[in-house]
Structure 1
């Protein structure tokens, strides 16, 4: 017996899929840009001996990396869960 969600039961599904894809793309682009800017700020502040700004740059790098990982892995995690549901 296979258990699988009814993905066609959501109203406006044909409109929702491109919107979610576009939002994931925007999140990935912004997080990569934030990663680059934060890394540059971290490097410049560290070389100039400004530990406060260097710490903020380091936090920005980790936050951007976390956002990129979560946005990128969200689709893979959902596909994994959908395939796991078939085997239970």
Structure 2
């Protein structure tokens, strides 16, 4: 069975390359990208009997931290790189 879901083992492998003291956050909603604090890891069983692990945000009012940094949304391919529009020549006092 081919699955596009990340496994706990794959998550551990990815996290092993990270700073162990860095806080863990969850990036959510590609159309309105926000960062959330993680508060819980819960194991359960899905409707097919397969074990599943859920990462949940906290219930505190400050669990949602705000917008994701632009470089994160680009790295997740949720948004393309944004470049400043080209500058137009400035007008002179004479109207040209």
Query: Which TM class, normalised by the smaller chain length?
Result: under 0.3
Highest relative contact order (Cα 8 Å, sep 6+), 1 or 2?
1
Give the number of the structure whose alpha-carbon radius of gyration is greater.
Answer: 2
Q: Which has the higher strand share?
A: 2
TM-score, length-scaled by structure 2: 0.23
Q: Which has the higher helix share?
A: 1
TM-score, length-scaled by structure 1: 0.25
